[in-house]
A and B are shown apart, each in its own frame.
Chain A
Amino acid sequence: MRGNDEILVDTKGLTKIYTLKRNIFARAAQFVTAVYDVNFQIKNGEVFGLVGESGSGKTTCGRILSRLEEATGGQIFIEGVDISQLKGKDLRRFRKKVQMIFQDPYESLNPRRTVYDTVVEPLEVQGIGDYEEREYRVWKALKIVELYPPGDYLFRFPHELSGGQRQRVSIARALVLEPDFVIADEPVSMLDASIRAGILNLLLDLRSRLGLTYLFITHDVAVARYMCDRIGVIFKGKLVELGRTERLIAHPYHPYTKALLSAVPIPDPRAKRERFRFEEREVPDHSFDKSCIFLPRCAASGRICRRESPEMVEVEEDHYAACHLSTEM
């Protein structure tokens, strides 16, 4: 729970490089670096947010952590055990502890399966309990996600549910195994505001009730602020800043974080925003590059930015930024 500073998840140098198939136009194989040397730790009971734009690699991070995708390099420790090489039985045991909630409840549920079939499946795969035990667990999971009374929902199909209810079914499916760690990948981006608020509150309540730890992946900074204790900002596959939510939002160090935060619209017609601008230029694939990843867009770059890729340094307590100039500002 909160206050317990024990580290649950620890990534070291997480990297994912995709190789594009060679074709008649491209003679040499081409590489796309989706995630590059990403390090972060998530404490027990914490909500850790990964924030970035589309294509920044935030989803890939989540998929690697849940072992849906193999990392090209780096290690992932969960409770001190390296899970990046788990196979067979060990991998199945790992899946019991780490579950994922996906973005689109219209696509992540099988349209031909009832709510019961969908939620019971993880129990069947894991071989947990007999029929009665499973039914009880499904019932409990539906109650937890506030689909109440569960009996009304058990035999419905996804098309008979609204978007919010579908996402609750996805959450029930993730929680039925009673995991410790839940990876939520844009769980509310397909939902309307009035429904979204309910799902966010539910996730927060479940955290305190069940002692869950979340990796919360989102492009929406306002949602991240509402949900997360700490936030990591990811740009083109690299973590550029990481810190406690309130501090990071009030006092960002990295120019990309500044630009991102200053672009978020505020639901208040009297609010005035200072915009932090940057150049709109293509950022080339960087895995073998020796300069700062943000250089092509940065308005403040110095000579060192061209020569060296900046490391994450602690700019203040529990706040890290990967910018050569962050210490001078």
Chain B
Amino acid sequence: MSLLEIRNLTLHYRTTNGMVQAVDKVSFSLAKGESMGLVGESGCGKSSVAMSIMKIMPPNAVIIGGEILFKGENILLKDDEEIRRIRWKEISMVFQAAMNALNPVVSVGDQIVEAIQAHDRMSETEAWEEVKELYRLVGLDPGRGKSYPHEYSGGMKQRAIIAMSLACSPDLIIADEPTTALDVIMQDQIIQEIVDLQDRLDMAMIYISHDISVIAETCGKTGVMYAGKIVEYADTDFLFYDTLHPYTKALLSSYPSIKGEVKRLNPIPGEPPNLLDPPVGCRFYPRCPEREGICNSQEPEYLQVKEGHFVACHLVKPT
């Protein structure tokens, strides 16, 4: 059985201008210890999917349909008390700006102790031992637990947040752009840390990023999102070397690299659609270089076209 299985998740946001169709029939599953990247441009719905798994959507979000099965139970049907027991203990999350959410007048260690004691019956001393252990795990000096957030650098704060997210040994960790605010070298160190821990602690991970180069290096599987839908999902290696969806192809050729020859980048013409009123057919139709007549009128199905390789495109036929 999969650890996490999402089936046809559809989420809209209620706004004064109407319903924004932010997530549309998203399905994927994740086994224990597996890592998956969710990549896409701003507004594609990747963070909305993450928030749904933790059930921390903003108040104007409306779940239209679908289910999120975690260990076989639908998270969306759980009440606040039940969900509170799962959050942090079984599923935890590292946000982009999480380091700014640390309380400035409480020492970082005390904040982690608080998180531990909220879920596990543990004495203050035991919890502090745990904090030291976690600090070692994420490459922080265990003696710095009593320091306050302003005494930490950005990278150290983000490490502390990772330590906190590991505090209750969750089965699933969701990392939503955990390094975007950091400099390149710090980003690289934190990513290595996350990948290493995920592997060592045998956690499942969903890594969300707009940066395909980060995803390429971190995740075993990758889902590409566009305008609220997963358009392609496969082993990361297949996704890069046997790319099937026109959007994924376009995205890959719009990225510069410091390796290999310098090729002219291919921008994708136009802009992502307005999700208040998305296109009737394929949502990528208006920008697609390979579009055909059918794409404009009929929504492509999300199909498995090869072993473990899912694509939603009229032009890609199952083999």
Binding site for B on A (CB under 8 A): 53-54, 162, 164, 192-198, 200-201, 219-223, 225-226, 249, 259-271, 273, 275, 280, 282
Q: Is B155 an interface residue (CB 8 A)?
A: yes
Knowing A162-B271, A192-B41, say if A269 contacts B265 (CB, 8 Å): no
Knowing A194-B267, A264-B184, A265-B214, say if A280 contacts B257 (CB, 8 Å): no
Bound Cα distance A119, B118 (Å): 57
Task: Tell which of B97-105, B106-114, B162-170, B248-256 binds the partner.
Answer: B248-256
Bound Cα distance A254, B212 (Å): 28
Interface flags for B219-246 (1: CB within 8 Å of A; 0: not) read 0000000000000000011001100000
Q: Which residues of B contact A264 (CB under 8 A)?
A: 184, 188, 213, 258
Knowing A164-B271, A197-B267, A266-B257, say if A192 contacts B42 (CB, 8 Å): yes
- Nearest-CB distance from B290 to chain A (Å)? 15
How many B residues touch A, CB cutoff 8 Å? 41
- Nearest-CB distance from A97 to chain B (Å)? 29
Across the A-B interface, give the 5 residue pairs with the lowest CB-CB distance, nearest first: A198-B267, A263-B188, A194-B268, A197-B265, A197-B267
Contact present for A223 and B210 (CB under 8 Å) = no
Q: Is B1 an interface residue (CB 8 A)?
A: no
Contact present for A193 and B271 (CB under 8 Å) = no
Contact present for A193 and B217 (CB under 8 Å) = no
Contact present for B41 and A266 (CB under 8 Å) = no
Interface flags for B183-212 (1: CB within 8 Å of A; 0: not) read 111011101100000000000000000111
Bound Cα distance A259, B214 (Å): 17
Contact present for A265 and B211 (CB under 8 Å) = yes
Q: Which residues of A contact B42 (CB under 8 A)?
A: 192
- Nearest-CB distance from A251 to chain B (Å)? 13
Contact present for A266 and B185 (CB under 8 Å) = no
Q: Which residues of B contact A249 (CB under 8 A)?
A: 258
Q: Which residues of A contact B237 (CB under 8 A)?
A: 269-270
Contact present for A193 and B266 (CB under 8 Å) = no
Contact present for A267 and B212 (CB under 8 Å) = yes
Q: Which residues of A contact B210 (CB under 8 A)?
A: 192-193
Contact present for B254 and A193 (CB under 8 Å) = yes
Q: Which residues of B contact A222 (CB under 8 A)?
A: 213, 255-258
List 8 additional contacts besides A192-B210, A267-B255; criterion CB under 8 Å. A194-B41, A197-B265, A200-B256, A221-B184, A222-B256, A266-B257, A266-B259, A280-B189
The closest CB in chain B to the CB of A259 belongs to B185
Bound Cα distance A222, B262 (Å): 10
Bound Cα distance A194, B185 (Å): 24
Q: Which residues of A contact B240 (CB under 8 A)?
A: 267-270
Interface flags for B258-290 (1: CB within 8 Å of A; 0: not) read 111010111111010000000000000000000
Bound Cα distance A268, B252 (Å): 10
Q: Is B303 an interface residue (CB 8 A)?
A: no
The closest CB in chain B to the CB of A246 belongs to B262
The closest CB in chain B to the CB of A263 belongs to B188
Contact of A269 among B185, B192, B217 (CB under 8 A): B217
Q: Which residues of A contact B259 (CB under 8 A)?
A: 266, 268, 271
Q: Which residues of B contact A270 (CB under 8 A)?
A: 237, 240-241
Q: Which residues of A contact B260 (CB under 8 A)?
A: 268
Q: Which residues of B contact A193 (CB under 8 A)?
A: 41, 210-212, 251, 254-255
